[in-house]
Amino acid sequence: MPWKEIGVMDERMRLVLAVEEGESVSEAAHRFGVSRVTAHKWLGRFKSAGVLGLQDASRAPHSHPNAVAEHVIARVVALRREHPTWGALKLYHWLESHESNTAWPAPSTIALILKEHGLTGSFRRRRVARYSEPLAHCDGPNRVWCADFKGWFLTGDGLRCDPLTISDGFSRYLLRCQALAHPTYEAVRPLFEATFREYGLPLAMRTDNGTPFAGTRGLGLSRLSVWWIKLGITPERIAPGKPQQNGRHERMHRTLKAQTLNPPAETLRKQQRRFDKFRREYNEERPHQALGHKPPVAYYSAASRQYTSRIHSPDYPKEWTVRRVYEKGSFYWNGALLFISDALRYEYVALAPSANERYLTIHYGHVPIAYLDTKHACIRAQAPKAVRDEKEKER
């Protein structure tokens, strides 16, 4: 039977006092309109906890059959603090891979654990349209490497740091992350040489249009890209203002910034130590959703083409017309001096027939770099419409 509606605590206290004054439990229970079981319950609570024991206790269960063990929660929290940028999904797959003897909760439960411990950030994922080309041919290790500078910043001692990063487009393996004072050809070439010696040569190198990857005059060639062509590497430049064309590398940069630059280190040397630690973790431990929640090391292997410092001028078919580029970046054709690129000075280019008789394709090594309009004696960087139309007909 329920208590009378005049203050539940008062009624329970009056029942207790009545029993203590000599009234039997049965009589007191009958007078207050409750069962003897209920009367004994409140008498017991008063005896153990005093007046506070007469309050209604929480009806929530003291334990839950699916509750997460304390040691599991502690391990999730500790791992998150070791890797502050990892979300619930990455934490789950890392724990499943490295500590499989424990039954780990689902990613959704891990997300709740992080939230309860104040370990979730207010990050908003940026949504950009998917770009299928030119990334479509990143179908194996060393098919395409991606290179870029993270963007310069000042270390704690006021010195400039411009990190050079090189990654494999297929596996996302971070081949190099090097702190530099300035992004010059003289600074980056030794780093590329060291990377080629360690990992071999890729088929293509994708970059933006900045220095030293591209030149500001002529066809956008630079000393660095000319050297790559001599090594049998095809330079690929993304369209201006289209960083999504190198999206995998740009996404890595965002993670790099979050883990190593908040705030920057006191010196360049200490900053490089952070980069080295990040690179090892990124390659060997951090699960990547696009790689089936495995780290890049599971998908990367060194290239079969080995680097050699002995490089020679390109060889061309005998039927092609070969021209030498002079000091100011120009070559002669039918008595006309045509500018092509400062980066090609003292090199040899070749003129080959194209899909349209009016135009000749200009090659440097294995790469077609421009088109010569024989009618107007001028060079065009892009394939003329007539050439494109002829190619379409051939298809």
Q: What is the pLDDT of residue 63?
A: 53
pLDDT at 3 over 80: no
Q: What is the pLDDT of residue 203?
A: 95
Do 323 and 364 meet the contact criterion of CB atoms below 8 Å apart?
A: no
Mean pLDDT of 264-281: 95
Q: What is the pLDDT of residue 130?
A: 34
CB-based contacts of 356, cutoff 8 Å, min separation 6: 384, 386, 387, 389, 390
How many beta carbons lie within 10 A of that of residue 269, not counting itself?
10
CB-based contacts of 361, cutoff 8 Å, min separation 6: 351, 352, 353, 354, 368, 370, 371, 372
Mean pLDDT across the chain: 85
Label residue 166 by pLDDT band (50, 70, 90): very high
pLDDT at 6 over 80: no
Which range, of 163-167, 291-295, 302-306, averages the lowest pLDDT?
A: 291-295
Which range, of 20-24, 187-191, 230-234, 391-395, averages the lowest pLDDT?
A: 391-395
Which range, of 43-52, 182-191, 260-269, 359-368, averages the lowest pLDDT?
A: 43-52
Which range, of 13-17, 92-96, 127-131, averages the lowest pLDDT?
A: 127-131
pLDDT at 332 over 60: yes
Element holding 160 (H helix, E strand): strand 160-161
Do 17 and 51 meet the contact criterion of CB atoms below 8 Å apart?
A: no
pLDDT at 266 over 90: yes
Q: The pTM is what?
A: 0.71
Label residue 91 by pLDDT band (50, 70, 90): confident
Label residue 188 by pLDDT band (50, 70, 90): very high
Q: What is the pLDDT of residue 125?
A: 44
Residue in this structure with the two tokens 């001599």, named with its chain if needed: 230
DSSP letter at 210 equals -
Q: Who has greater pLDDT, 202 or 100?
A: 202
Q: What is the pLDDT of residue 121?
A: 62
Label residue 384 by pLDDT band (50, 70, 90): confident
Percent of the chain with pLDDT over 90: 46
pLDDT at 367 over 90: yes
Mean pLDDT of 285-293: 88
Lateral strand order in the sheet of 144-149: 174-178, 164-168, 144-149, 204-207, 234-237
Cis peptide before 212 (omega within 30 of 0): yes
Q: Quick one: which of 199, 225, 227 has its CA closest to 212? A: 225
